[in-house]
A and B are shown apart, each in its own frame.
Chain A
Amino acid sequence: MKKIILLITLVLTLSAEVKVGDTVSNFKLPYLYDTSKTVSLKSNAGKVTLVNLWASWCSGCKEEMPLFVDLQKKYKNSDFRIILSSVDKKKKKSIKFLNKVDKNKVLLSVYDKEKTLPKEYKALGMPSSYLLDKNLKIIKIFVGSLDDNAMKELEEQIDKLLGK
């Protein structure tokens, strides 16, 4: 009976969403603008990273995108990187939208057609953003689009992680 309870606990634990303090595993996904190239999380190792799960059909995702462009520009010469992961069925929809808001391609975009990241992270909403430290440990999870207060909080966390 103890084994059964242990097994059930294990199954339930494994099926739970990722939480603050967890270390995320590496991923390797195609670069949105050129799917022959790949981008891996480890290639950004040693950097503070914000992984944003988004789609062009999600209005909240589109709302916060200009804020991310500004944020990345602000931290241009630092060890902070934003990785966008699009879960659109057609990548051209993502590209069309990003061409409008991120003309200079300051955001690193990957294409996750199979939705591997939201499935792995068990994302509770769209958009979802995960702030990772240099060791890929989750520091903060943002579910839903970021408003001004959340952006302020995010910037404080980034500065803290960068040792500013």
Chain B
Amino acid sequence: MKKMLLLVFVIIFTGCSDKLVRVMPYEKENFAEDKMSYSPLADRSEQEGHVFLIREASAGGESAFQGGCGCR
């Protein structure tokens, strides 16, 4: 029973792991390429990225500037 409980906890916490659910800031080299932006226009791309983030409740894969840390 205890082992089962432990297994359940491990699965739950692994699922929550930041490493699994989002691209880490230092791994965004490919996302930083121009062809990966939403729009060739920088301002529009930023706006679309913001909308996408809210709409899809996703984070971390849309841009490379400042690594998506939310600090700027």
Contact = CB atoms under 8 A, between A and B. Distances in A.
A11 B25 contact: no
A126 B66 contact: yes
Contact of B9 (A4, A87, A115, A144): A4
B2 interface: yes
B64 A59 contact: yes
Contact of A88 (B2, B29, B67): B29
Interface in B3-40: 5-6, 9, 13, 17, 24-29, 32-33
B49 interface: no
A87 B72 contact: no
A12 B13 contact: yes
Interface string A81-108: 0000001110000000000000000000
A115 B64 contact: no
B72 A55 contact: no
A162 interface: no
Q: Is the interface of B mostly helix, strand, loop or mixed?
A: helix
B7 to A, nearest CB: 10
A124 interface: yes
Interface residues on chain B, size class: 20 to 34
Contact of A60 (B6, B33, B65): B65
A: interface residue count bin: 20 to 34
A57 interface: yes
B72 A57 contact: no
A125 B27 contact: no
A61 B69 CA distance: 13
A117 to B, nearest CB: 9
27 contacts: A1-B2, A1-B5, A7-B6, A8-B13, A11-B13, A53-B26, A57-B29, A57-B32, A58-B65, A59-B64, A60-B65, A60-B72, A87-B26, A87-B29, A89-B29, A118-B24, A123-B24, A123-B25, A124-B69, A125-B25, A125-B68, A125-B71, A128-B25, A143-B69, A143-B71, A144-B66, A144-B69
Interface of B: 2, 5-6, 9, 13, 17, 24-29, 32-33, 64-69, 71-72
